[in-house]
């Protein structure tokens, strides 16, 4: 009934772009933050301003990664290296953590102003998973995961939540490392081989493949089916409801 292998007993869902329509909010916030920083830097150095691409740069360097990893990875691609700073750096600090704080402030503002909408097809699928007796966890690099779940009205659909706060507390490496997904499987009492991973991010499907999960489902929201498969997805759908409709 679920379009999954019969041996799967647990489902591990990414948040942004899989369950909720917040990936576009994050992409816009990353662009606003990076463009502001890059424009200031270009003006100081007398160089050309090259903006952040909210599709290609977002997919390649920041989507699915912990916030500081996203800052560090994108800046490295531009040949920029900043001091790490500390997690309590204010948004005006020219550090990895400072830029991460600036981006997070922008995301929270956008969520307050625009709200959070879940994907209806994903909600249908999660209800079907619950009705079938499978265990469920949300696995997100976001420190705002619980707030987003509550705002979307879907927090009660999940047994466990492994998010950015949990990852920091337990010192789990972020995606594309499999640590957070492995921790979710452990929390649900399930072997990775008997769990399914649902991801829209290239780093996320890499994490699923690295963790040797039973099946990795790529969710293609932006026309990157081939890339999702190349990075580790066993199956690619445009919406999770397709898995129900395929039966």
**Looking at 16, 57, 69, 234, which residue is catalytic?**
16
Catalytically annotated residue among 14, 59, 63, 179: 14
Between CA 233 and CA 217 the distance in angstroms is 6
d(CA 204, CA 19): 14
Edge-to-edge strand list for the sheet holding 235-237: 160-162, 135-139, 10-13, 195-199, 215-219, 235-237
> How far is residue 112's CA from residue 167's CA, in Å, rounded to a whole number?
25
- Let me know: does 7 contact 214? Beta carbons within 8 Å: yes
> Is 105 one of the annotated active-site residues of the chain?
no
57 is catalytic: no
Contact between 144 and 66 under an 8 Å Cβ cutoff? The reply is no
Contact between 232 and 215 under an 8 Å Cβ cutoff? The reply is no
DSSP 192: G
CA-closest candidate to residue 3, choices 125, 120, 135, 124: 125
The catalytic residues are 14, 16
């Amino acid at each position: 009934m679920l379009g999954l292998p019969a041996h799967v007993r647990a489902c591990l869902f990414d948040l942004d772009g899989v369950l909720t329509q917040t990936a576009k909010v994050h992409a816009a916030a990353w662009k606003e933050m990076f463009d502001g920083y890059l424009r200031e830097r270009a003006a100081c150095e007398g160089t050309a301003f090259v903006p952040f691409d909210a599709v290609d740069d977002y997919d390649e360097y920041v989507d699915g990664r912990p916030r500081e990893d996203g800052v560090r990875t994108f800046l490295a691609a531009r040949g920029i290296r900043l001091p790490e700073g500390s997690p309590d750096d204010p948004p005006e600090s020219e550090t990895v953590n400072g830029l991460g704080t600036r981006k997070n402030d922008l995301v929270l503002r956008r969520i307050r102003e625009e709200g959070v909408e879940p994907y209806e097809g994903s909600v249908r699928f999660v209800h079907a998973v619950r009705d079938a007796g499978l265990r469920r966890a949300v696995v997100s690099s976001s420190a705002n995961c619980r707030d987003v779940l509550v705002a979307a009205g879907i927090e009660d659909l999940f047994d466990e939540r492994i998010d950015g706060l949990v990852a920091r507390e337990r010192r789990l490496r972020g995606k594309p490392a499999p640590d957070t997904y492995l921790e979710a499987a452990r929390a649900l009492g399930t072997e990775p081989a008997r769990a399914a991973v649902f991801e829209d991010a290239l780093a996320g499907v890499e994490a699923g493949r690295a963790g040797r999960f039973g099946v990795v489902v790529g969710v293609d929201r932006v026309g990157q089916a081939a890339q999702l498969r190349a990075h580790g997805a066993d199956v690619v759908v445009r919406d999770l409801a397709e898995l129900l409709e395929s039966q």
